[in-house]
Structure 1
Amino acid sequence: MKGLIGRKVGMTQVYDEKGVLIPVTVVQAGPCVVTDVKTVERDGYSAVQLGFGERKAKNVTKARAGHLAKAGVTGDKLPSVLREIRTAAGDEAPAPGTVLNADVFEANDYLDVVGTTKGRGFQGVVRRYRFGGGRASHGGVWTRRTGSIGCCEWPGNVIKGKRMPGHMGNVPRTVQNLQVVRVMAEDNVLLVKGAIPGANGGILLIRSAIKKQTGAKK
């Protein structure tokens, strides 16, 4: 299992060797420093913790600064984001303090990418769940409203999980089996085929696909 923390830069398009236009998302992947290695014996599970980004050391909590110091990560700037990549028990993990770059992935690798969707605030059911709404004429007075949400008799209450107006977006979403089109190792940039959730500048967790063989052909 390979993984990095990255930042969504935006979308563009490139041509492959056959002249086919491919929409890609530009991702700044790394550099990421290994800040901890979780083991089954000590933590009950196996994972590698990575750090990404920069934050002034004076703005980092003492608890986090002490945690990073154990891995040899010190200085005026410290990682601003920490994430974990789960690994299989017994897998060889990089030592704390190791820096990982975009070149851990190769072209035609397949990735699972976790991003945070754009926040849409409080929305009604027509936008949030694509309800049809009520009639727009002949006495209709609830054009964009929910309609019936409960029962008069049994069970006599609104059933749990009923789709209703509420907060929309700003939740983690995973897109699986995205193909790496190009690796620009000198700039720590990945060109990933297709769209990735979230706004430009959002933090992404990038890891090897668990349902597709890495290095497979298109």
Structure 2
Amino acid sequence: MREIFKQEMEQLREGLVAMSGSVATAIEKATTALRTADLTLAEEVIDADRQIDALERELDEHGISLLARQQPVATDLRIVVSGLRLSATLERMGDLARHIADVARGRYPETATTGRMQEILDRMGEQATKVGRQVNQLLETRDLELAAAIERDDDIIDRLHRESFQVVLDDNEALTRQQLVDSVLLGRYLERFGDHGVSVARRVSYLVTGDPANAVHLTKVSEEPAHLD
């Protein structure tokens, strides 16, 4: 009976790794589509988001089934509950990638922004893609050094996000109203993606160490309005 439980726990871990891999692919394609005005890539991200949502439902059902049938305690309980929360965070990250792809598709055949703003968003996209890959690796390895690296890379995204505000307020940039709206939204989506990556990093740190101090502010990300994901 214990062996079956171990196998089911491993399935939960593998499901999270697979889901995070899909999210990493989604953000890479979405930011590339944004940078290059690639309609095909944008539509691939939008279509793939349904698969990410389906993975979340499967993981949630699996986790709830484990809680009901096995009634895990201590470390096992922490793993199952963390798995449920991680799947929800990954689903939001997939939504953010889809939002970026939606903007890229909506502005095709042009890019959403130009000039300095596009340069900033490109750099934010590179960092978000890096975070997406790190999250995938973290869920596979549970390497706490990698968790710390995610937080450092999110700091770069936050700095670039603040820099984007200056461009929005700079009359010399001569952005159209649509470009201004897109710039604010895209900056927010990319910044939120990084925040969710930090949430995953802290959740995994708590999962590995069992130290509640590693879970500080974990719920903060989910307190934002739902439409911002």
TM-score grouping bracket, smaller chain normalisation: under 0.3
Q: Which has the higher strand share?
A: 1
Q: Which has the higher helix share?
A: 2
Whose relative contact order is higher, 1 or 2, with alpha carbons under 8 Å and at least 6 apart? 1
Scaled by the length of structure 1, what TM-score is found?
0.22
Scaled by the length of structure 2, what TM-score is found?
0.21
Larger gyration radius, structure 1 or structure 2:
1
